[in-house]
């Protein structure tokens, strides 16, 4: 008779340490097969050298090496998720399946469908909270409705964290003996249909966080954590980070709370994925000029801060947060191009692309989101440059040809500012 097993399904939680779903899986009665599925529904939409696929593959290789030290290995599959699960049910005698929750609309629908398939096979499917401290509707207003303003959300979040006495981490090392003994073939990147990218995810760096509150806005100073792709793919644990940040730096902790704020916004208001959070802004007459968009994408607007940011993004898959704010505001306000265009471009290029944070921040910059910048606030890219890169170190790095006569701005700031305010005003009045 075939051996009864438990499956643990890795998704965006690519680590063994402090992994809640894995911790519970390992305590089941059956040996645990860890599995990862490269989902064709997603892979088919990506270029063959997408750096994020390479990063996932590297992270899986690290997990596999750790599993091998314990006489086990990672089972990698590729295909349409539903079809893969049908095949897994045939291949193994699966008694239970564990995973960690994923709150994006695509993932929720996928998990519902897989849950139904497993249920039809009498296999329980357990999903755990892992990627956030507080999920879904855990932080709500007194009336039970979700917060749409950050500061009261953050205060409630901190209050709850303190009442709970921090957050428990899950160490499963003493259960590693319960991994299924195996030596599955580890699929290469080529076997998955991808190739190495020259763009790589940087290791994260927490050593400079002590002065984060003073330095984080200056793109020339290497003073942010580079955690974002690691949080996206779960190669670090949010519980460990938060327990650490609480003792180290309040401003840094606030950023981790912004991440959860936007996650609960997407969960509670999934329309924000494609539509304005504030429907009062639906009547804005965007110019959506293709040629202007191209100049923005290629970093040739004539505004050094915007161009440096877009070039950093195109060359590295990363852009400093202050500069993301400047380029996003420039696209929506100076060029009157709707935020969805910029959001899609970032989604294609960012190594840390996270649906909730991307739409949340884009809508913030466009003024259409919850707790957004007021529509009449139009960043002046020249003033931003003077304030945050006074010596021009950042722009010289990304625009080697930069000199005093650099380019000619594609739009005049004063004209663009007045035009944006008038267009927004007219759009809001119309609705
Ligand atoms: P740090 O400054 O070290 O921050 C630590 C962590 O806090 C980040 O890794 C991130 O998880 C979280 N965080 C920080 N700022 C924000 C924020 N404004 N909103 C939500 N979480 C935050 N972040 C993404 O992770 N994915 C995205 O797709 C994304 N798109 C963005 C689009 C725009 C237009 C803007 C203005 C910001 C966007 N951000 C996004 C937020 C922010 O720019 C990045 O999280 C940050 O630059 C990543 O670098 P870091 O890890 O060194 O950040």
Q: Is 225 annotated as a binding residue?
A: yes
CB-CB contact of 371 with 364 (8 Å): yes
Q: What percent of the chain has pLDDT over 90?
A: 94
**Residue 226 assigned ligand-binding role:** yes
Using pLDDT thresholds of 50, 70 and 90, give the confidence band for residue 430: confident
Tens digits of per-residue pLDDT, 156-175? 999 999 999 999 999 999 99
At residue 1 the predicted structure's pLDDT band, cuts being 50, 70 and 90, is: confident
Measure 357 CA to ligand 1 centroid, in angstroms. 7
Q: Is 256 annotated as a binding residue?
A: yes
Distance CA 330, CA 381 (A): 8
Q: Residue 158 is inside which H or E element, if any? A: helix 150-163
Instruction: Judge contact between 206 and 225, C-beta under 8 A.
Output: yes
Least confident of 42-46, 295-299, 373-377: 373-377
Shortest-distance Cα residue to atom 8 of ligand 1: 228
Is the pTM here over 0.90, yes or no? yes
Residue of minimum CA distance from atom 43 in ligand 1: 321
| pLDDT value for 39 | 97
- Span from the CA of 37 to the centroid of ligand 1 (angstroms): 27
- Is the per-residue pLDDT at 208 higher than 90? no
pLDDT at 226: 96
Cα distances (angstroms) measured from residue 261 to each of 155, 265, 267, 268, 306: 11, 6, 10, 11, 27
ipTM of the complex in this document: 0.99
């Amino acid at each position: 008779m075939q051996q009864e097993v438990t499956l643990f399904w890795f998704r965006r939680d690519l680590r063994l340490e402090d992994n809640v779903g894995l911790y519970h899986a390992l305590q089941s009665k059956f040996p645990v097969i860890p599995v990862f599925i490269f989902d064709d529904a997603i892979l088919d939409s990506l270029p063959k050298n997408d750096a994020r696929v390479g990063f996932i593959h590297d992270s899986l290789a690290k997990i596999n090496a750790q599993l091998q030290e314990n006489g086990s290995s990672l089972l990698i599959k590729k295909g349409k998720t539903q079809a893969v699960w049908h095949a897994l049910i045939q291949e193994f005698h699966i008694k239970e399946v564990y995973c960690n929750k994923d709150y994006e609309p695509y993932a929720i629908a996928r998990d519902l469908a897989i849950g139904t398939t497993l249920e039809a096979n009498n296999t329980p499917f357990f999903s755990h909270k892992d990627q956030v401290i507080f999920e879904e509707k855990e932080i709500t207003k007194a009336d039970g409705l979700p917060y749409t303003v950050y500061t009261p959300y953050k205060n409630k979040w901190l209050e709850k964290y303190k009442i709970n006495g921090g957050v428990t981490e899950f160490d499963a090392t003493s259960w590693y003996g319960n991994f299924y003994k195996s030596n599955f073939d580890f699929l290469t990147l080529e076997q998955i249909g991808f190739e190495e990218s020259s763009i790589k995810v940087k290791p994260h760096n927490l050593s400079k966080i002590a002065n984060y509150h003073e330095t984080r806005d200056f793109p020339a100073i290497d003073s942010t954590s580079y955690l974002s792709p690691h949080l996206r793919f779960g190669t670090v644990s949010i519980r460990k980070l938060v327990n650490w940040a609480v003792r180290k730096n309040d401003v840094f902790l606030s950023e981790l709370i912004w991440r959860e704020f936007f996650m609960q916004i997407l969960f509670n208001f999934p329309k924000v994925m494609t539509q304005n959070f504030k429907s009062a802004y639906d009547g804005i007459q965007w110019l959506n000029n293709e040629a202007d968009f191209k100049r923005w994408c290629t970093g040739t607007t004539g505004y050094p801060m915007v161009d440096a940011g877009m070039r950093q993004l195109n060359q590295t898959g990363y852009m400093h947060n202050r500069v993301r704010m400047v380029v996003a505001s420039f696209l929506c306000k100076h060029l009157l191009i709707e935020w969805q265009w910029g959001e899609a471009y970032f989604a294609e290029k960012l190594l840390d692309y996270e649906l909730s944070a991307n739409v949340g921040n884009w809508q913030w910059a466009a003024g259409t989101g919850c707790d957004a910048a007021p529509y009449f606030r139009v960043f002046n890219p020249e003033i931003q440059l003077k304030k945050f890169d006074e010596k021009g170190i950042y722009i010289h790095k990304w625009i080697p040809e930069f000199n005093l006569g650099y380019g000619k701005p594609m739009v005049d700031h004063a004209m663009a500012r007045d035009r944006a305010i008038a267009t927004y005003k007219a759009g809001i009045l119309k609705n």
